[in-house]
Amino acid sequence: MYSLATALTIALTVGIDGALGHKGCGGHEVMRRNPGGPVVHNIEELRNLENAARNGGWIRRQVTDEASAAQSTDPSTECTAYSYAPVTNMKSSFPTIWQTATLVAGDTEAASLFATINATVNSEVPNIKPKGNGHAGDFSNSGYTAADPDCWWTWKQCTKGDPGNGINADFTTVPEANTWGLGFDDGPNCSHNAFYDYLRDNGQKATMFYIGSNVMDWPLQAQRGLADGHHICVHTWSHQYMTSFSNEEAFAELYYTRKAIKEVLGVTPTCWRPPFGDVDNRIRLIAQGLNMTNYVWSDDSEDWRAGATGSNVTQADVTANYQSVVSGVANGSYASHGPMVLTHELTNFTMSEFVSQYPSIKAAFKYVVPLASAFNITQPYVETNYTYPDFLTYTNQSSGSSASTSASGSSASSGSASASGSSASSKASSGSTSNTAKSSAVSTMASGGIVGGLVSVLAGALLLL
């Protein structure tokens, strides 16, 4: 428990206790602060803490409602770190947050799975080695050949994989015409509540690519993502360049993020997105061994670059990027498929910019859908008791307008995590592509979720944060 005095003391230490900011898709402004912070057992306590802090005057929530979310571009929204017992208790079974993941000593289940995948990788693509210097994107000495033998996205945006040898291509667009495939990277952002409120109020669900370290830092915020009915995918453990990692590191970056989501949310994702798009056939094969489908993108809003160190991308540029995609509808660019646009819940700007653009996106595109629905994936997680609406079901629910909020709103207030994905019966919609799970003999994680059941208890209260 904590007191206001404690909270204020904590406030004074914010920013001077070795905050581990990390370089996201261009630099995160939302950092982990005060890692030794107050213990929070549930959403109610977190809310109390935030109220106390707010009364103390040191939390500035610039975004508190839809209207201000649409206008605020202040990146300094602050977050109060907290300790959450289920996460605290499992930390020794995970890599250190925001550091390159490796197999955890004594984790025989992970080691066994890695051994199987590693054998496949060494057999199938023995010539593809880790690339570059360090893990921050320095590929100056990669010595890579112009022929692009590894289908390295970072080289020339290769996404075809090597289907002839069982390496699946990346997904870059959605199969439905005039449909915007909606996803947000780098969450859960500790200050995303106003943004998630906006999505909820508009009956809009999205695919959320969560960073494992963020899930460990902000588990209750992660739980809200699932409770709101969003489609949860993996965005690696430490958000670095995947092709720079050894086989073991790349495996661990995916495996432990997936495991963290399983332990905190109760579901095991089957999808991922490489930070910076950095993937090659070696990394594709490792992800495939984990039964994870790779979604890259067709268009980059560049929202992550606006204001980032060393970037000359302006907020006006980001708006222009959004509008460029929007104008593609009138040009007939999306008569047979839809764009998958790279956007983020990274900063106040990236979230509020989407809110600003959403009306024009909705006006131009026939549908705006999460990727699971776009690809008719009605079972997006390994767990068979969670279903998701296919394209037809989702678009029928959300067609019209914000009147459809009953579907999303009820999911959170009803407190049923399994129901939040909504009704999801499902006949595949005609004319759309069905993306079945990748065939891999590798077994999926068997561990049970420590706190998954809590989602149902907490979901209603989450809306109050």
Q: Which positions are catalytic? A: 185, 344
Please report how close the Cβ of residue 299 comes to Zn ion at its closest, in angstroms: 15
Please report how close the Cβ of residue 112 comes to Zn ion at its closest, in angstroms: 29
CB-wise, 25 or 242, nearer to Zn ion? 25
Please report how close the Cβ of residue 302 comes to Zn ion at its closest, in angstroms: 13
List own/partner pairs for 3-12 with CB under 8 A and 24 or more apart.
4/52, 4/55, 4/56, 6/38, 7/38, 7/49, 7/52, 7/53, 7/56, 7/80, 8/56, 8/58, 10/34, 10/37, 10/38, 10/80, 11/53, 11/56, 11/58
Alpha-carbon distances, residue 255 vs 268, 283, 291, 376 (angstroms): 10, 13, 11, 25
Phi, psi of 263 (to 5 degrees): -70, -35
User: Which residues make up the interface to Zn ion (CB under 5 A)?
Assistant: 25, 185-186, 275
- Tokens found for residue 406: 């009953």
CB-wise, 38 or 339, nearer to Zn ion? 339
Strand partners, 185: 209, 344
Please report how close the Cβ of residue 105 comes to Zn ion at its closest, in angstroms: 28
CB 429, CB 392: distance < 8 Å: yes
Q: Rounded CA gap, 386 and 456, in Å?
A: 13
Which candidate, 403, 420, 423, 422, places its Cα nearest to that of 462? 420
Q: At what angle do helices 193-201 and 405-414 cross, to 10 degrees?
A: 130
CB 1, CB 39: distance < 8 Å: yes
Strand partners, 32: 20
CB-wise, 70 or 211, nearer to Zn ion? 211
CB-wise, 197 or 278, nearer to Zn ion? 278
CB-wise, 132 or 275, nearer to Zn ion? 275
Please report how close the Cβ of residue 100 comes to Zn ion at its closest, in angstroms: 16
